[in-house]
Structure 1
Amino acid sequence: MRRVEHVMGFPVSLRVDDELGQEVDGEGDFEATADAVFAWLREDDARFSPFKADSEVSRYDRGELERHELSADLTEILALCEHYRLATGGAFDVRLPGRRLDPCAVVKGWSVQRAAELLTSAGARSFCLNAGGDVVTSGGPWRVGVRHPEHADRLCTVLELTDGAVATSARYERGDHIIDGRTGRPATGLLSLTVVADSLTEADSVATAAFAMGTEGIDWAASLAGCEVFAVDADRRVLRTPGFPSVAKQPAAA
């Protein structure tokens, strides 16, 4: 089964390779589960987008909700944001001065990881869920390409995942949009940084947090248990941890 929908401002693709026709929660295939996956992602976009005036995040940011009135999900998301703010010495910060509260860097990975867990709970054993280039896989193995930071039609590496997640933070889609909270200026030390971890909640959060730190973020991310890193710095040097699961080791910049 394959499906693609536009959610949270980017394409989300789902591929399930389990045989259709097997019994799944009383259904003959995974279509109903796919419906639930995309409904969950749309719901999270409505609840947690800082760009929607009636979202829980926007209402909290305007002071219309007290901390004790927040949903358990948003409370968990904000706790993760605070964890990475402290872990990066303030480089990663979702409450930058003069800007609205923006937890999107954590929300995306957290939401997609939860969606993947819906698939697993429904009995899916071999699937790939790709949310704008950030990927959760089960079974496989699956090959995932990491886009070249300067050439949209090229890959800088290909990795192989069985059960895990991969996320990339970079400047190529939205320019210098990741801010170093310590300086208030765009983080420009890296062109891209990719993290492989057990969950997309961690991979996506760590990739953004490390990117905000600049080149020092590479060693910080690499020091985290269970995280493997592939990075291209502003001088176009390629740095990777020994355990990064590359299929082919290719130069990233030429």
Structure 2
Amino acid sequence: MRRVEHVMGFPVSLRVDDADVPEAAVDAVFAWLHEVDARFSPFRPDSEVSRLDRGEQSGDDLSADLREVLDLCEHYRTATGGAFDVRLPGRGLDPCAVVKGWSVQRAAELLTAAGAERFCLNAGGDVAAAGGPWRIGVRHPERADRLCTVLEITDGAVATSARYERGDHIVDGRTGRPATGLLSMTIVAPTLTEADSVATAAFAMGTEGIEWAASREGCEVFAVDAERQVFRTPGLPVAA
């Protein structure tokens, strides 16, 4: 089965190679992602995130899912010394950097629970996959028609944070200014929750984020800094 839908502001594509996985499982994946968009988008005034930001909900009233997301946000804020922060001065609460990977990883777990053993779920370029090998291209940060490298994963996730799609949109919470030390940061990790969060957090840290990300257990790194230097960890699963 293959399906593509536009959710949370980007295309989400799913390929399931198992013949016996019911279509209802795929329906559940996209229903979950649409639910997440409605509940956690800071751009929807009626979302749980927006209501919390306006003070209309307290910590005691939050759903278990939102508490989990906020705990992850706080974990990465602390781990990066404040470089990653979803509560920047002058801006509303915006946990999107964690919500995307967290929600797509949950969607992947729905597929696994439904019996899927070989699938690839691609959410705007961030991928959760199982039953590979799957080959995943990493886009050149300055040339849309070129790849920097091709990775190969069997079970796991790949996420990239970069400046080429949305410009200088990632802010270093320590300075309040856009993070410009890196052109792109790609993370391979066991889950997309971690891959996506670490990629964004490391990007916010600038060049020091490369070593920080590489020190995270289970994470492999491919990064390009503002001087066009390429960094990669020895265990990066580069395709042959």
TM-score (norm 2): 0.99
Consecutive unaligned residues of structure 1, counting only runs of 5 or more, are 23-28, 249-254
Please state whether the residue corresponding to 2:73 is helix, strand or coil: helix
The residue type paired with residue 148 of structure 1 is H
Structure 1 segments of 4+ aligned residues over 3 angstroms from their partners: none
Structure 2 equivalent of residue 216 of structure 1? 208
User: Is residue 177 from structure 1 mapped to residue 175 from structure 2 by the alignment?
Assistant: no
Structure 2 residue 127 is matched with structure 1 residue 121 = no
Q: 1:31 offset after TM fit, Å? A: 1.2
Q: Which residue of 2 aligns with 1:52?
A: 44
Corresponding letter in the other structure for 1:12:
V
Q: How many aligned positions are there?
A: 240
Alignment match, 2:160 = 168
CA distance in 1, matches of 2:201, 2:22: 35
Distance in 1 (alpha carbons) for counterparts of 2:144 and 2:43? 27
Q: Does 1:228 align with 2:220?
A: yes
Aligned to 1:11: 11
Residue 34 of structure 1: how far off its partner (Å):
0.6
Would you say 1:41 and 2:33 are equivalent positions? yes
How far 1:30 moved relative to its partner?
2.8
- State the AA in 1 paired with 2:9: G
2-side partners of 1:79 and 1:170: how far apart?
24
Q: Give the alignment partner of residue 59 of structure 2, picking from 24, 46, 67.
A: 67
Distance in 1 between residues matched to 2:220 and 2:132, nearest whole Å: 19
For 1:106, the equivalent position in structure 2 comes to 98
**C-alpha deviations, 1:24-46, integer Å up to 9, x for none?**
xxxxx431111000000000000
- Does structure 1 residue 76 correspond to structure 2 residue 60? no
1:124-160 CA distances to partner (integer Å, 9 max, x unpaired)?
0000000000000000100000111001111100000
Give SS of 2:97's match: helix
For 1:161 and 1:16, locate their aligned partners in 2 and report how far apart those are by CA, in whole Å: 16
Give the 3-state SS of the residue equivalent to 1:168 in structure 2. strand
Match in the other structure for 2:23: 31
Instruction: Measure the CA separation in 1 of the matches of 2:144 and 2:39.
Output: 32
Matching residue of 1:140: 132
State the secondary structure of the residue aligned to 2:180: coil
Q: Which amino acid letter does the alignment assign opposite residue 36 of structure 2?
A: D
| TM-align CA RMSD | 0.6
AA aligned to 1:82 is: E
What TM-score do the two structures reach when normalised by structure 1? 0.94
Q: Secondary structure at the match of 1:175?
A: coil
Greater shift in the superposed pair: 177-186 or 30-39: 30-39
Amino acid paired to 2:39: R
Aligned equivalents of 2:121, 2:201: Cα separation in 1? 22
Amino acid at match of 2:62: L
